Structure 1
Amino acid sequence: MQLNPYGEYAVLLAASLANDWPSDRSGIEERTRDVGMTMPFPDLPSDHAQVRAVIDDWLAVVDAPSDPQRALLLNVQLATAAAYPRLVDHDNEGWHLHYRDDGQSMPQVLRSVICTGTALHLTTRGMHRLHRCEADPCVNVVVDITRNGRQKYCSVRCANRAAVRRHRTRG
């Protein structure tokens, strides 16, 4: 059984949605499949807008000015999202924990998964491992999953752009 099935993939999913918002519901569902979420979601007309609200709430956590504020915002979201943890074995994935009730809509499931995953990511890897890219003018979310915990940029492209700017200001 995996100890932390939600942390990394859930936070990377949230960042993917925040950094490149899909134009429709099927684009959101495709992203969930890309990270390994296999359960079907009921198809509701409000899913696209409600998932956008989930991501906007999550971005408030990303942009919180301090660790205590980040924890407070995330705790509020967790209180409204997560159900009691339960052991499940579906789709030949092996036994693992779900932090949500069965039969929930896509926005409800994503809120639960993203909030729980973010809490696990921040508590196991460090509160500093979720922030905005430091390459101006990029505003993408960085989910730091590196070994040393010092990732500043969302991509190699942004890291290179920042290095070129630093070099030009020295010369």
Structure 2
Amino acid sequence: MAGRPSSGEVNRRLSNKEAKNAGEASMRKPMGQDQRTLESAFTSRYPNRASSTRPSTPADGYQNRRESSTRHNTLETEADAWEKAQIKKIQRRYEKVKSAILAWENEKKMQAKIKMEKRKSELEQRRASNMQHYQIKQTRIDQIAGGARAQMEEKRRNEESKVREKVKRIRAKGKVPVKCFCFTCY
């Protein structure tokens, strides 16, 4: 029994102290308590895993396999439930991020639209102001040009009237006037 344990024994080797206590315990206690004591003394690090004892009969092996398959099924359903929960959590988180991105996008688009409308209205106001300025300039130019034409016409009439008066004098005297320096002599 120094090498490998038999089918009814525990896989782990016992220290001298444990071996003595285990031997004494099995002699003093009834069989049911001894089995529970051994199982509690050598509990696995992983309580979910099957016991480290080997089945003694084929029927016990079948029972353990059936329990193992049901345990496997429950582990699978627990794993599926955990997976679904994690995926749902991830989806919720990404939905929040997605909605935040959509809100940011809508806000930026709205701001851009408002800015464009503001610039458009400013352009319209500027265009209207420029048109008004242009019309004011046109009327001012028309007034100035009209005044200049009026002055020119008046000057022309005055000069023509002077010429007509001179012609009357020439006809009245019968001679053409002579110019002496700046003066005209008759």
Normalised by the length of structure 2, the TM-score is 0.18
Higher helix proportion: 2
**Larger-Rg structure:** 2
Greater RCO structure (CA 8 Å; 6+ sep): 1
